Amino acid sequence: MCGRTLQIIVSLLVIVAAGPVTAQIISNPVPAPIEKRGLAVEVVELARLPDSRGIRPADQDVKPAGWARINYVRDLPDGRRFANDSRGFLYRIDANNQPHVYANLAETFPRAVYNRLSSGFIAFVFHPEFARNGLFYTIHAEHGPDNPVKPNFIPPGYGLKDVTHHNIVTEWHATNPAANVFAGTRRELLRTAHVVANLTHPLSAVEFNPTAKPGSEDYGLLYISGSDHGFSNGGGPNSSNPAQTQRLDSIITAMLRIDPRSPSVTGGVKGLGDYTIPMANKFAADGDPNTLGEIYAHGFRNATGCHGTSTGPCSSATSG
Ligand SMILES: [Ca+2]
C-alpha cells in the first residue's frame, strides 16, 4: 500500500516536472540570471508641458483634472526633443526646456475622440532619415458614426454600420525638416475600425527599429501596435469575442511591420492601407492569400510598443 502510494506520488512528480517543458513554446531570450551591478536611476524634473485642461467638455476628456497627458518623449539626432500631449499637441522642447507647439493635431483632426486612457493623439515617431526626408508618423483616434472616411479594415463579419471608432496612422511630410514649426503635407497610411462600444486597446504605438542600419532588412520599416481593438473587454454586444483574436486574415491582436512608402512609389505589394508589404514578413511570402502580409507577430491583447534590442528587431510587453 505504502509502495503504491509512493509510486503514484512519483508519477505525479514526473508529470508536474514534465509540465513546464511541454508547455514551453519559446526559448528564454535572456537565460542568464539578472545581476544587480549598482546602477541607479535618478529622476529629475526637466520640463512641464502647457496646461491643456478644459480645452474640451469634461465628458469628452478621460482625465479632465490632468494638467497635460504625455505619452511619448522622442529625441532627434540633431538634439531637438519632442513630446506629445494626447489632447492633441506635438511640442518641441527647446534647449531651455521650454515647450513650443510643433503641430496642432487637435485642430487638424476635429473628429478625434479623447474619452479613453489611450485616445486622442496617441503616438508619434520620426523616420530614421527625418533630417533628410522630413517624415514622421502619428496615431490618433476618431469617432466612427457619420465619419466621412471609410476604414481600410473592419473586423471580419462586421460592416460599416457596426463601426464605433477609427484608429488612424498618418504620415506627415515636413517641407523643411529643420523648421521648428511643422509646415508641409500629410498622407493617411491606415485606418482601422473598432466595433466594440468603447475605444479600448486602440492602435497605440508606431516604432522604427533603432538598431537597424541602412541597407539592412529592417531599416526604414514601421512597426505598428499589437492591439485586440477591444475584443477582450471593450464593452457592448461585440466584445468578449475570442474568435476574432486568432485569425491571420485579420489584424486584430497583430503587430504590423510595413514599408510606409506607398506602393505607387515602390511598385511593391499594397497592404490594407496605402503602404507596401515587406516581402521579408513571414505571411507575405507564404503563398497564402488568406494570411495578411503586414502581420509581423500576433496574439497581443494590448502591446506596449515594439523596441529594438540587441537580440532582435523587436521586443514588446503586452498587458492582460
Ligand atoms: Ca500571405
Three cell numbers written together for 258: 510595413
The pLDDT tens digits of the residues spanning 109-144 come to 999 999 999 999 999 999 999 999 999 999 999 999
**Ligand 1 center from residue 283 Cα (angstroms):** 4
CA 84 to chain centre: 15
Cβ partners under 8 Å of residue 78, min gap 6: 131, 178
Distance 282 CA to ligand 1 centre (A): 8
Structure confidence by residue, pLDDT tens digits, 38-67: 889 999 999 999 999 999 999 999 999 999
* pTM, 2 dp: 0.88
Domains in the chain, start-ordered, CATH in brackets? 61-315 (2.120.10.30)
pLDDT for res 304: 76
Give the cell for residue 194. Answer: 473598432
> How many angstroms does the Cα of residue 268 sit away from the middle of ligand 1?
14
Please state, in angstroms and rounded to a whole number, the distance separating the CA atoms of residues 156 and 68. 37
What's the Cα-to-Cα distance from 161 to each of 5, 164, 166, 197, rounded to whole Å?
63, 8, 13, 13
Distance 17 CA to ligand 1 centre (A): 39
CA of 290 to the centre of ligand 1 (A): 6
Find the 272 Cα to ligand 1 centroid distance in Å. Answer: 12
Give CA 134 to chain center in angstroms.
21
- Give percent of the chain with pLDDT exceeding 70: 89
230 close to 247: Cβ distance less than 8 angstroms: no
Q: Are 136 and 174 in contact (CB under 8 A)?
A: yes
286 C-alpha vs ligand 1 centroid, how far in Å? 5
- Rounded CA Rg of the chain: 22
What spacing in Å lies between the alpha carbon of 33 and ligand 1's midpoint? 39
Nearest to 90 by CA among 77, 66, 109: 109
Grid coordinates of 172? 506627415
Ligand 1 centroid distance, CA of 82 (Å): 37
